[in-house]
Amino acid sequence: MINDKKVLFSGMQATGTLTLGNYAGALKNWVQLSDQYQCFYSVVDLHSITIRRDPADLRKRARDLLALYIAAGLDPKKNCIYYQSHVSAHAELAWILNCFTYMGELNRMTQFKDKSRKHQDNINAGLFTYPVLMAADILLYQADVVPVGLDQMQHLELTRDIAQRFNKIYGDVFTVPEPYVGKAGANIKSLQEPDKKMSKSDENPNASIYLTDDPDTVMRKCKRAVTDSGSEILYRDDKPGIRNLIDIYCAMTGKTPGETEKEFEGKGYGQFKEAVGESVVAQLRPLQERFAQVSADKAYLSGIIKENGEKASYFATKTLRKVQQKIGFPARP
Ligand code: TYM
């Protein structure tokens, strides 16, 4: 608890261009939860270097992501929005937690398996221990809740296991976090292959809606989205294309799948796709406008980065010192 509020932690990688999946599965929920909790939202740039990055590009993307958090509606005076690389406690706790995590556990991580298949020339140790760094992120702030999309659930379960294992040996050091998955949008799929998740790294640009897409591009991508045989708008497992579009529509409008089926009863795929596109444009337009304003104000952003980096360091170091003391590292004179 901080100031009588429960603590929330979440983060996103500063890589690629953010997709509607990142928005619907994470960012949108972050904004909705931000009043209830004491929130830490990190731009997780340490996580980004498991794949080779151009330094200037990484720096730019990290800054853009930070500005996007603010543009989406997170007030940086109330929410601690900061760069992970500015708080050295993340890497320090990750090392300690590495010693409390088993190879067998990390071997089971599906994201590690997927990413090693994709980057066979660079299967580095960081890629393997990535979930431990994620556990360190969360446990450093004693987070009660972690809003994520479904693809991160396995990492969250591992975080809970590590926390419980550590607490069993040393007493109640860490809060064991609960995942938070929103009602709609936790698992947005590719528009071209609806059995795959919508991903920043998809090579087919028509598979993903990017948060930077202009209205025409959004409408075109929605119209070209792969749909199923038949013509009815039904939320069913055997209609993965339409089901995904209904998920998007619900995440954008707050409606339920049942309400959406009723709304489009007797209407065709064409009309529905148009409505999905418009619902996305209605969310992205103000986000993009606000993003342009926030990113233009360089002095304001720099102030936020400094202030919030220090705030995050304060809370993170508090936990780190406690952990170091419990383990038996010498006290600082
Ligand atoms: P990342 O950067 O891949 O994704 C950021 C958030 O977006 C969600 N997401 C999706 N949700 C629904 N449908 C999709 N298609 C979709 N694609 C992505 C993700 O679930 C995530 O919530 N390892 C994390 C970042 C991270 C983190 C953390 C998250 C590092 N430390 C601590 C929470 C807590 C990642 O790579 O997310």
Return the ligand 1 atom nearest residue 12 CA: 2
Of 3.40.50.720, 3.40.50.2020, 3.40.50.620, 3.40.50.300, which CATH number belongs to 7-181+298-327?
3.40.50.620
Sign of CA dihedral 105, 86, 54, 303: positive
* 200 part of the active site: yes
Q: Are 179 and 8 in contact (CB under 8 A)?
A: no
Residue in 200, 255, 311, 326 annotated catalytic? 200
Q: What is the pLDDT of residue 15?
A: 81
Closest CA to 207 of 231, 241, 181: 241
pLDDT of residue 301: 96
Q: Does domain 215-292 have CATH number 3.40.47.10?
A: no
User: pLDDT tens string for the chain (333 positions)?
Assistant: 888 899 999 999 988 789 999 999 999 999 999 999 999 999 999 999 998 999 999 999 999 999 999 999 999 999 999 999 999 999 999 999 999 999 999 999 999 998 899 888 999 999 999 999 999 999 999 999 999 999 999 999 999 999 999 999 999 999 999 999 988 899 999 999 999 999 988 889 999 999 999 999 999 999 999 998 888 999 999 999 999 999 999 999 999 999 999 999 999 999 999 999 999 999 999 999 999 999 999 999 999 999 999 999 999 999 999 999 999 999 989
Name the closest-CA residue to atom 22, ligand 1.
148
Q: Check residue 221 and give its pLDDT.
A: 97
Active-site annotation holder among 28, 189, 197, 273: 197
Is 298 an annotated catalytic residue? no
Q: Residue 3: its pLDDT value, please?
A: 82
**3-state class percentages of the chain: helix first, strand second, coil last, to nearest 5:** 55, 10, 35
Indicate the angle between helix axes 55-71 and 269-296, nearest 10 degrees: 110
**Angle at Cα 135 formed by Cα 134 and Cα 140, nearest 5°?**
105
Residue ranges per structural domain of the chain: 7-181+298-327, 215-292
Q: What is the pLDDT of residue 14?
A: 86
Interatomic CA distance for residues 25 and 125, integer angstroms? 28
CB atoms near residue 309 (< 10 Å):
18
Find the residues whose C-beta lies inside 6 A of ligand 1: 9-13, 21-22, 24-26, 44, 47, 134, 137-138, 146, 148-149, 151-152, 186-188, 197-198
> Could you give the C-alpha distances from 272 to 12, 42, 55, 207, 253, in angstroms and in order?
31, 36, 42, 18, 13
Nearest CA to ligand 1 atom 36: 13
